[in-house]
Structure 1
Amino acid sequence: MSDLPKLSRFNDNVLSKYQIYNSIFTTLPFDTIDNTGVLLPLLHKVCEKGFALGKNPTEIIEHFFKKYQENPTEQEKTDLLFKFIQYIERQVVLFDAIEDAAFPAVNNMDGVGTLRGSKESATLNNKKEELKAYLEDFKVRVVLTAHPTQFYPGSVLGIITDLDEAIQRDDLLLIKKLLAQLGKTPFYKKTKPTPFDEAVSLVWYLEHVFYHSVPKIYNYIQNNIYDGNPMDNEIIDLGFWPGGDRDGNPFVTTEITLNVAERLRQSVLRNYYRDVRRLKRRFTFDGVQEILARIEKRLYKHVVRSYSKVNFSQKILLEELSAAREIISTKHQSLFIEELDDFINKVRIFGFHFATLDIRQDSRVHHAAFTQIVKDLQSIGDTTFPKNYNNLSEEDKVEALSLIKGSIDPSKLTEKISVDTIESMYALKEIQKRNGERGANRYIISNNQTALNVMQTFAMLNLCGFENELPVDVIPLFETVEDLINAEDVMRTLYANRAYRYHLEKRKNKQTIMLGFSDGTKDGGYLMANWGIFKAKEALTKVSREFDIEVIFFDGRGGPPARGGGKTHAFYASLGPTIEDKEIQLTIQGQTISSNFGTKASSQYNLEQLLSSGIKNDIFTKDQLNDKHRELMEDLAANSYQTYVDFKKHPKFLPYLEKMSTLKYYAKTNIGSRPSKRSNSATLDFSALRAIPFVGSWSQLKQNVPGFFGVGTALKKYEDEGKFDEIVDFYNASDFFRTLLENSMMSLTKSFFGLTAYMSEDPEFGAFWNIIHDEYKTTKRLLLKLAGHTELMENFPVGKASIEMREQIVLPLLTIQQFALKQIQELQKNEGNEKELEIYEKMVMRSLFGNINASRNSA
């Protein structure tokens, strides 16, 4: 089977099986309307044929009812459309489960980009010692975030897992039952999830996937690269945002932060408890059984929250296990020792925290909270801050804040914003006490613009009574094009500050800096965001090396290429020596979690790909841009940026999103706990609009603007000047440039302008729609010309086939959504249509889910 081409394996294991299981699914009798499953394929054909003939979604839906229903009432029409939505949602789940089940068969688990592949390359090139030395320091940190791009309820995740296993065994009877269960299980959440609910959803992945896949990778490295010797480096770290990410989420309270940290602790200890019970069946030897019984008893106590006394830790547990190992090794011929080693490695990797809970807040909130703290303390005669603090220059404020130390009492503060901010910092102390320092030791400042933003946070943390040194990394997040340009000066100021420099010395001379791909793209367009981040990384690497600081870049990456996603491993493998790469840190969100890390096999494969991308960049290749390439990239980014900025300034830009897209429905989906914008303003303000609903709305329109707009115009300039060969040479020579444009091609592949072609005739938005469509056509034509291809993604046939199948599944869903949007526009022209409006708005909202979930192969 593995000798067949990858596309053949995909066709046999995914597409063929989908056709079989879908035919079973569509005949299951689980709804109140007869023949929904029979009618859906007919609607699909009508959609395909209708769009091919240039029909609009309203004409297509009306034609369907005319052809296949006998004088249906309006109620019968809407009922059937809602049933179609339910069916398609579940077809997407079925396809997910089949793709998950086929993952090991379709992907070569020992091939290029895997650890076995890297080890064999190193051995062949006499670089095994170099690889070993590299892995002593190198880490990958995957940070799970609850950004609302896809969230199956826990019940649906369980069905996907069971389906995956049943499909692997070809257990037709069980598959049939599970499909029937799927049909009866609700997807839609009647209420918004709390941040704690989101955390519980993601802990599912930690327990069922990462707890197994991460140690497997660690064990392989230890046994095959370190020849069985112990390693000091965990190699893979896990991070966690739900419950700690306060940025724009008023529902994240200190209580929720503490509850999430406790849930993480209990979850990992519960897994340890299960493992120890299993180990007791193996180690029935004198001396060892007593140790394991003692561990079992202590773990049981600590899994329960009521056992509040903290007298058990990762250190104590490892000491006990080490003593057991010594007895097995010296007295029992190392019998079953590999099973104990596996458990010891789990405890080393996951500690008592499972994943590090990051705290994040916006610099503007910090500034307001901090200003109030200064005011409150000065009003009661407290001398923590100089009396003239508010009149100092920014430079002098930075200096003054570096000296701040103390233990502030939150009850002395008068404003909620200050109390909440300080209490969230005290929560770090509490979590570290229960879960260990790795439980929560990072504070991220989003929308960071100045050194003062960092020092305000640094000062507030130092007011929280941490003994001795501050055991917290302060992490600025640079997002907009302007902030990326200023990032080097901000860090230079901080590195030059004696107190901050001393803090970094105590943190092993490492500084983590986060860069926001998602908001960067929203602000500056696709090419400028990626090039801006690349240049910022180079500048930040240079200034950090100047001060003997090892900078670690933490990338805020989304699912689709428009939010920094795309082919992530290829991106990291292409960065070259001018960018520090001792660690790869990135956020994983929404559908990327389920697509890349949803099963043990896909998780192991994709974590290995990330590890190998760092190895490839550092040991095997040094892809460096030359001066000519930089000049070209600078010019392309500048032209693309200007095109995108002009587009954003178009008077119809925001009205188009408001009236013609699904933007306002994101807030109503109950898919995530965060509001869809940062302000409570009734009018749409671009700066307050979150990147997720922004990118998601373009995706629902199948226009994917943030993933390509401006790219075509930038390339066309070179074509018009007869210099296109220069771009072709650049594309062929640079992994970085090629990966960037291949990700843009993925955005184009997922576009379908036939869906909204009717908008070209719209009296208000027709001209604006044509601007988007023209840029799409230009970008597609020139990217194909550049790559020498006749079709988009033709060099990634499996990814292309998966996207095509998913797009095919949701075609009727997209059509229904556009039909409902058009009905809403018509109904809004007159008053008294509130009841009908409510029905169609619900239809738009419900159709969001299937479309979002179907896009999961976007990273």
Structure 2
Amino acid sequence: MKSNRAQERVQEAQATEEDARLRDDIRLLGRILGDTVRDQEGADVFELVERIRQTSVRFHRDEDRQARQELESILNSMSIADTVRIVRAFSYFSHLANIAEDHNNIRQMRSRASAKGGGGMLAETLAHATAAGLKPADLRKFFASALVSPVLTAHPTEVRRKSTMDREMEIAALLDRRERMQMTPDEREASDEALRRAVLTLWQTNLLRRTKLTVLDEVTNGLAFYDYTFLREVPRLLCALEDHLDNGGESAGELASFLRMGSWIGGDRDGNPFVTAEVMRGTLKLQSSLVLHYYLEELHVLGGELSIAAHLADISDDLRGLAERSPDTSPHRRGEPYRLAVSGIYARLTATAKKLGVQISRPPVGEGAAYTSVREFQGDLDILHRSLISNNARVIARGRLRLLRRAVDCFGFHLARLDIRQNSAVHERTVAELLDTAMPGMSYLALGEDARVGLLLSELRNARPLVSQFVKYSDETVGELDVFRAAAEAHAKFGADVIPQCIISMCKGMSDMLEVALLLKEVGLIDPSGRSAVNIVPLFETIEDLQASSAIMDRMLALHDYRRLVDSRGAVQEVMLGYSDSNKDGGFVTSGWELYKAEIGLVEIFERHGVRLRLFHGRGGSVGRGGGPSYDAIIAQPGGAVNGQIRITEQGEIISSKYSNAEVGRNNLEILAAATLEASLLHPRQPAPKREYLTAMDRLSELAFKAYRGLVYETDGFVDYFWASTVINEIATLNIGSRPASRKKTRAIEDLRAIPWVFSWAQCRLMLPGWYGFGSAVETWIAENPDRGMAFLKELYREWPFFRMLLSNMDMVLAKSSIAIASRYAELVPDEELRRTIFGRIRHEWELVVRTLHEIMGQERLLQGNPLLERSVRHRFPYLDPLNHVQVELLRAHRAHSPDEQVLRGIQLTINGISAGLRNTG
């Protein structure tokens, strides 16, 4: 007991020290920002910022009526110009606070790694695996067939420009340098000046984009994270893991590159008319250009490093042959075979780049033949590697060459695996036009599901093409066929890894999957013998579709013709699960529960068919869209659902928060790998939840669904309340994405995309999609089960990872909410009775959920069990809350048709600042 108390005191002391250091960083950056505001905008603006901040703190703390009146008085008395200045000041503080927090997180990661003798979460998980009796050979075998794939998407919740991100990264680097270096007084003074210079530059940089993003702009923004993190950290992580499994002995061979980057940016056509075949070709060219330039630069530096003289070190015959084939005729390198070999590789890679349409800035020393495949390029690098190893130069082989070889294995000539995605309704219309044209008198759309399946299967067996060059098809059909043809071209140009998945949004039946198979066959990506070059991936999104998913896949895998396609892909079938639309459809509790049950059903079906299931989790950044800590989410999956392979979307502002800093990015990649390993090997068959747990959760879900649907879809006037009390209209004015906010031109919640739905609720600080319905569900369940009551729910929380994660995510999202601030947004609703009724229901449910969570989790305040996040939220509220208050006043002016164009600009700036302050908002 004494040792436990002593350990607790040590941990408390460490937490206090960490908190103090974080506060110091925030104060440093805040002070510099304050000085910048005073210098650039005047002392009166700086003093106004402070008055608003202090008054906002009082209002947030206890909904002080006097503070509210004072705050409204201050805001109403400001000119629009001053309002915009105030908004910029608070917005920039949110960005700077994020930098300080990230810096503190890195500090803690280093501290933990030092305390444990080095290594991050992956090393810790490997130690657990070793303690559980798993040998390095077992782990190597696991990784040989494993797949961990973060998939970047361009969903519009990242409101920051790359220009501001670059300045923020500069500030972060300066903070890091101050901590790592023992500076002289002069160096410290220079560091202070550099920080002030960076903050001033940030202050004078536009927070908002002036023009609408194109899809290729989104591609370019996404590719920046390869420069920041992926190109270097993915190879380093894999090499470090390989070393760990070698355990200091002789190498057991190279570890499989199980960590693969994926992307939807430039291939996701669902609801985005701007993603065309030409855009997809442009996307692949940009991707290829980035990775080839990286390889060429690394080769250039490698050539400088490998100055090994032939008379001082032996070389292999293969290396000698490679050097002799080099076009490099410089007399200075005549006796340096490795440099000659690298020059020859560089020349061949330059020719490859030219063949792929990539412009190269540094020319080769001579002409070389283009590589026919990435494997041929790898083969030449392997010759360098083997020659060094065989001639006692292993330490040299383990340097830049090793990381380059690993990068080539991970990224190929295509960089990231691009998924193509389209809505099932579009596929259906395309196939219907092709079939109806080829078979006069046919009406495909009039056929029932069984008849469609039979017809599609017969067409899959038929070698003749459906498309005729003599028929004029609709623009939609032409566009879809062009995309599939571009995918086939990409396979021929870059290899099969370039586009390995075709995803079907809103998949509702077998015919939706077979229609895609038919379109793939039409362009040669499926051949008549039953071999497929692409995975056909159904995306089950709504509650109803999740419930039907197991039965659909059971019937699909029983079809001989479809099973041949699956077997040709290594007997692996990927299934994507949609978190966002299921949440919008049925609420947070029911969405989470139906996803969990769907996974259980799919695991059972796939085991019966002898097919490996790979789940692709379509998680958003916010809890309302499946977000939350990745490690906890993976570990909480039902037994057998991970099984060594997992793909997860990384969306919106979550991408920059996870991957713009290389060290943070490396840690997040390790978390994904560690969680996959742990879920697959350490408890792959954890005991199924007790039957009474499942029964209770079924009822809680049913009750929560009823409460959520009752508010969102069955309350008269709710749509009007939503559009009036949130910034949904104004979000559309931001240049933050190429995709429209709604699928159709209506105000219906059903047609609204899940991203702006969640984003809007976050802006007004209600975060309704992340908690609504749970309190009512628990209240009714306890009334129905007085014998078990709260004690049973506490047992669920204690014993069941799924239930614990559900409540933990609600705890997090509620801590970022503010019912006091939300009440101000409710006042934007012009209909007083509608406002009173609906906000009254929301407030009641919010209070009920908070009380319920506290009781089940055994806590007195939100985030009591997560002190680090609690402190983070506490630090940022004084600067975040004023942005909400200002946003409300600007919305009033905008909706009163203020002619001042700065009003809308001010609203856009508040959206940026609030998003930055909350971090995982969409």
TM-score by length of 2: 0.86
| Structure 1: runs of 5 or more not aligned | 67-71, 380-385, 828-832
Counterpart of 2:851 in structure 1 is 781
The structure 2 residue matched to 1:770, chosen from 837, 840, 848, is: 840
Query: Structure 2: how far apart are the matches of 1:220 and 1:113?
Result: 11
Contact 1:556 1:587 in 2 (8 A): yes
Query: Structure 1: how far apart are the matches of 2:893 and 2:842?
Result: 23
Rate the CA distance shift 1:429–1:653 in 2: closer, same or farther, 3 A. Answer: same
Whether 2:409 is the aligned partner of 1:348: answer yes
Whether 2:728 is the aligned partner of 1:663: answer yes
The residue type paired with residue 152 of structure 1 is: R
Whether 2:30 is the aligned partner of 1:22: answer yes
What count of residue pairs does the alignment treat as equivalent?
835
The residue type paired with residue 743 of structure 1 is: N
Deviation at 1:704, TM superposition (A): 0.8
Query: Structure 2: how far apart are the matches of 1:236 and 1:298?
Result: 27
Counterpart of 1:189 in structure 2 is 209
Query: Structure 1: how far apart are the matches of 2:165 and 2:84?
Result: 22
Counterpart of 2:422 in structure 1 is 361
Counterpart of 1:754 in structure 2 is 820
What aligned pairs does 1:102-251 form with structure 2 within 5 A after superposition? 102-107=104-109, 110=113, 114-129=121-136, 130-170=138-178, 171-227=191-247, 228-231=251-254, 233-251=256-274
**Stretch of structure 1 that moved more, 492-501 or 368-377:** 368-377
What aligned pairs does 1:585-596 form with structure 2 within 5 A after superposition? 585-596=647-658
Deviation at 1:410, TM superposition (A): 7.0
The structure 1 residue matched to 2:750, chosen from 665, 682, 687, is: 687
Deviation at 1:760, TM superposition (A): 6.8
Deviation at 1:161, TM superposition (A): 1.6
Counterpart of 2:637 in structure 1 is 575
Counterpart of 2:332 in structure 1 is none
Rate the CA distance shift 1:856–1:437 in 2: closer, same or farther, 3 A. Answer: same
Query: Structure 1: how far apart are the matches of 2:229 and 2:521?
Result: 37
Contact 2:151 2:264 in 1 (8 A): yes
Rate the CA distance shift 1:120–1:270 in 2: closer, same or farther, 3 A. Answer: same
Query: Structure 2: how far apart are the matches of 1:467 and 1:53?
Result: 63
The residue type paired with residue 712 of structure 1 is: G
Counterpart of 2:312 in structure 1 is none
What aligned pairs does 1:348-747 form with structure 2 within 5 A after superposition? 348-378=409-439, 392-402=447-457, 403-404=459-460, 405-407=463-465, 408=467, 412-466=471-525, 468=527, 469-621=531-683, 622=686, 624-648=688-712, 649-679=714-744, 681=745, 683-720=746-783, 721-722=785-786, 723-747=789-813
Counterpart of 1:82 in structure 2 is 84
Counterpart of 2:316 in structure 1 is none
Counterpart of 1:92 in structure 2 is 94
Contact 1:113 1:612 in 2 (8 A): no
Rate the CA distance shift 1:496–1:568 in 2: closer, same or farther, 3 A. Answer: same
Deviations 1:472-511 (A, max 9, x none): 1111100000001111121122112222111111100011
The structure 2 residue matched to 1:63, chosen from 66, 69, 73, is: 73
Deviation at 1:834, TM superposition (A): 5.0
Contact 2:153 2:652 in 1 (8 A): yes
Deviation at 1:733, TM superposition (A): 0.5
Rate the CA distance shift 1:592–1:780 in 2: closer, same or farther, 3 A. Answer: same
Tell me, what secondary structure is at the counterpart of 2:732?
A: helix
The residue type paired with residue 457 of structure 1 is: V
Tell me, what secondary structure is at the counterpart of 2:914?
A: helix
- What fraction of aligned residue pairs are identical, expressed as a percent? 23
Tell me, what secondary structure is at the counterpart of 2:649?
A: strand
Deviation at 1:149, TM superposition (A): 0.9
Counterpart of 1:383 in structure 2 is none
Query: Structure 2: how far apart are the matches of 1:310 and 1:287?
Result: 21
Counterpart of 1:835 in structure 2 is 899
Query: Structure 2: how far apart are the matches of 1:685 and 1:368?
Result: 24
The structure 2 residue matched to 1:811, chosen from 881, 890, 893, is: 881
Rate the CA distance shift 1:846–1:497 in 2: closer, same or farther, 3 A. Answer: same
Query: Structure 2: how far apart are the matches of 1:795 and 1:155?
Result: 37
Rate the CA distance shift 1:298–1:103 in 2: closer, same or farther, 3 A. Answer: farther
Tell me, what secondary structure is at the counterpart of 1:281?
A: helix
What aligned pairs does 1:269-288 form with structure 2 within 5 A after superposition? 269-285=292-308, 286-288=336-338
Contact 1:132 1:226 in 2 (8 A): no
Rate the CA distance shift 1:301–1:802 in 2: closer, same or farther, 3 A. Answer: farther
Query: Structure 2: how far apart are the matches of 1:200 and 1:337?
Result: 33
The residue type paired with residue 348 of structure 2 is: R
Tell me, what secondary structure is at the counterpart of 2:291?
A: helix
The residue type paired with residue 774 of structure 1 is: H
Counterpart of 2:349 in structure 1 is 299
Tell me, what secondary structure is at the counterpart of 2:156?
A: coil
Contact 1:541 1:580 in 2 (8 A): no
Query: Structure 2: how far apart are the matches of 1:853 and 1:233?
Result: 38
Query: Structure 2: how far apart are the matches of 1:551 and 1:282?
Result: 45
Post-superposition, which runs of at least 4 consecutive aligned residues in structure 1 deviate over 6 A? none
The residue type paired with residue 512 of structure 1 is: E
| Structure 2: runs of 5 or more not aligned | 1-9, 179-190, 309-335, 360-368
Contact 1:594 1:856 in 2 (8 A): no
Tell me, what secondary structure is at the counterpart of 2:269?
A: coil
Deviations 1:410-460 (A, max 9, x none): 784421110111111111112222322111121111011111111111101
Query: Structure 2: how far apart are the matches of 1:122 and 1:834?
Result: 64
Deviations 1:368-387 (A, max 9, x none): 222222233346xxxxxx95
Counterpart of 2:319 in structure 1 is none
Query: Structure 1: how far apart are the matches of 2:892 and 2:578?
Result: 35
Tell me, what secondary structure is at the counterpart of 1:844?
A: helix
Contact 2:228 2:660 in 1 (8 A): no
Tell me, what secondary structure is at the counterpart of 2:260?
A: strand
Contact 1:28 1:180 in 2 (8 A): yes
The residue type paired with residue 84 of structure 1 is: I
What aligned pairs does 1:255-334 form with structure 2 within 5 A after superposition? 255-285=278-308, 286-303=336-353, 306=357, 311-331=371-391, 333-334=393-394
Rate the CA distance shift 1:658–1:123 in 2: closer, same or farther, 3 A. Answer: same
Query: Structure 2: how far apart are the matches of 1:464 and 1:220?
Result: 42
Deviations 1:793-842 (A, max 9, x none): 111111222223233321111110112223445x3xxxxx5515x55444
Deviation at 1:406, TM superposition (A): 4.9
Deviation at 1:12, TM superposition (A): 3.5
Question: Which protein shows a greater Rg?
Answer: 2
Contact 2:707 2:773 in 1 (8 A): yes
Query: Structure 1: how far apart are the matches of 2:728 and 2:853?
Result: 29
Query: Structure 2: how far apart are the matches of 1:41 and 1:840?
Result: 22
Rate the CA distance shift 1:17–1:773 in 2: closer, same or farther, 3 A. Answer: same
Rate the CA distance shift 1:388–1:824 in 2: closer, same or farther, 3 A. Answer: closer
The residue type paired with residue 474 of structure 2 is: E
**RMSD over aligned Cα, in angstroms?**
2.4
Query: Structure 1: how far apart are the matches of 2:473 and 2:342?
Result: 52
Contact 1:640 1:711 in 2 (8 A): yes
Deviation at 1:294, TM superposition (A): 1.4
Query: Structure 2: how far apart are the matches of 1:726 and 1:188?
Result: 50
Contact 1:287 1:327 in 2 (8 A): no
The residue type paired with residue 817 of structure 2 is: S
Deviation at 1:133, TM superposition (A): 3.2
